């Protein structure tokens, strides 16, 4: 069983890629509110760990060259985000089936 932070990471990555795939090829702002849900900072101005993880998931995708963006919007999102060629090909690739049906040959002679 995966750790909860890894499961949340997968959810954030899936939402980010889904939003950008729907907008492709247009550049659009991408907000953490759309990824991790609306979050109000505490009295010190800090966001929840889940909200912060959503923001850093965006930056991780950029570091790994799956998305491009022009600038960050504080820690609330990224501006002018778009999928890279690498990400677009991965998302549109037809995957190999996990299970292949076994074909049995019979002799009808």
pLDDT of residue 2: 60
Q: Which domain holds residue 41?
A: 4-92
Decide if 49 is inside a domain.
yes
pLDDT of residue 9: 92
Decide if 71 is inside a domain.
yes
Among the ranges given (2-6, 11-15, 60-64), the one the predictor scored with the smallest mean pLDDT: 2-6
Domain of residue 48, CATH code: 1.10.10.10
pLDDT of residue 72: 92
The arithmetic mean of pLDDT across residues 53-58, rounded, is 93
Decide if 27 is inside a domain.
yes
Structure-token pair, residue 67: 């998305």
Structure-token pair, residue 103: 């074909």
Instruction: Give yes or no for a contact between 71 and 83, defined as CB atoms under 8 angstroms apart.
Output: no
Distance, CA of 77 to CA of 11 (rounded, Å): 16
Nearest to 31 by CA among 84, 88, 72: 72
* Domain tally, the chain: 1
Cα-only R_g, the chain: 19
Q: pTM value?
A: 0.79
Decide if 19 is inside a domain.
yes
Decide if 99 is inside a domain.
no
pLDDT of residue 43: 85
- Partner residues linked to 83 by β-bridges: 67
Decide if 102 is inside a domain.
no
Decide if 105 is inside a domain.
no
Give the residue ranges of DSSP H helices in 1-106. 4-23, 32-36, 49-63, 85-92
Decide if 107 is inside a domain.
no
DSSP assigned state of 2: -
């Amino acid at each position: 069983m995966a750790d909860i932070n890894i499961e949340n990471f997968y959810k954030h990555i899936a939402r980010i890629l889904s939003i950008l795939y729907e907008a492709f090829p247009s550049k659009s702002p991408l907000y953490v509110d759309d990824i991790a849900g609306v979050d109000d900072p505490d009295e010190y101005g800090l966001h929840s760990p889940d909200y912060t993880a959503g923001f850093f998931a965006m930056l991780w995708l950029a570091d790994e060259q799956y998305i491009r963006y022009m600038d960050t919007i504080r820690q609330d999102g990224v501006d002018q985000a778009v999928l890279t060629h690498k990400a677009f090909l991965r998302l549109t690739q037809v995957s190999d089936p996990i299970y292949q049906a076994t074909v049995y040959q019979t002799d009808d002679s």
